[in-house]
Chains A and B, each alone.
Chain A
């Protein structure tokens, strides 16, 4: 079965520092991978996706993600974190039924 795992419940970084939110996946066939962000009392917002092609995918709000097939990872990154980036981040994969399966989420806190 297709699945994603987010090994960290919480990530803390200082404003201006680079951030990484980790995600590993397990799929059969070609992976369709996504990152979403959720702000308090809101639904999830799509950030970026990997379908095929370049391993470095650029998305909204300065975020990017690096697809690594050998390590089955799809880590979310940003060169310089902002306090406003503090939110809950979800990695997701489309499964064989075309349903979106989400990781448990990682809470990112950026401190001034």
Chain B
């Protein structure tokens, strides 16, 4: 079974631009979560989608948005990029909307904003 796939692996953008990251979950997984990982802040929760609905959102500005499609694939968009948005963005999927379901992570998209 294929794992969580994130594309692209690397992105370089300039301030003010916008970017879209893509995530394909493990087949059959309906929950998709997004995290931002930086050396200083660790892993910060962005948002989670389940069956095309955003269930919860972390403490990020409105420039960060996402969506989930009917096939459970998810995209994350960041508009008006800032230097501080440089980070590894991780997507994770889980089988069910249950508290004991572990997350399965992709290898991430490394975003560099110059």
A binds B: yes
Q: Report yes or no: B102 in contact with A49, Cβ–Cβ below 8 A.
A: yes
Closest B residue to A50 by CB, please name it. Answer: B100
Q: How many whole Å from B106's CB to the nearest CB in chain A?
A: 5
Residues of A within 8 A of B100 (CB): 32, 49, 51, 94
**Interface hits, B1-49 → A, CB 8 Å:** 4, 6, 33, 35, 42-43, 45, 48
B90 contacts partner chain A, Cβ-Cβ < 8 Å = yes
Q: Report yes or no: B99 in contact with A98, Cβ–Cβ below 8 A.
A: yes
Given A32-B99, A43-B90, A44-B90, CB of A101 within 8 Å of CB of B45? yes
Q: How many A-B contacts at CB < 8 Å in the complex?
A: 56
Q: Report yes or no: B102 in contact with A99, Cβ–Cβ below 8 A.
A: no
Residues of A within 8 A of B90 (CB): 43-44
Cα of A42 to Cα of B3 in the assembled complex, Å: 12
Q: How many whole Å from B30's CB to the nearest CB in chain A?
A: 13
Against B, the Cβ 8 Å flags (1 = close, 0 = not) of A71-112 are: 000000000000000000010001001111111110000000
Against B, the Cβ 8 Å flags (1 = close, 0 = not) of A37-79 are: 0000111111001010000000000000000000000000000
Q: How many whole Å from B86's CB to the nearest CB in chain A?
A: 16
B108 contacts partner chain A, Cβ-Cβ < 8 Å = yes
Residues of A within 8 A of B42 (CB): 102-105
Q: Report yes or no: A99 in contact with B33, Cβ–Cβ below 8 A.
A: yes
Q: How many whole Å from B82's CB to the nearest CB in chain A?
A: 23
Cα of A66 to Cα of B35 in the assembled complex, Å: 27
**Known contacts A51-B99, A51-B100; can you find 11 more A-B pairs with CB under 8 A?**
A41-B107, A42-B108, A43-B107, A44-B105, A46-B103, A90-B43, A94-B100, A97-B55, A98-B98, A103-B42, A105-B43
Give the B-binding residues of A (Cβ under 8 A). Answer: 32, 34, 36, 41-46, 49, 51, 90, 94, 97-105
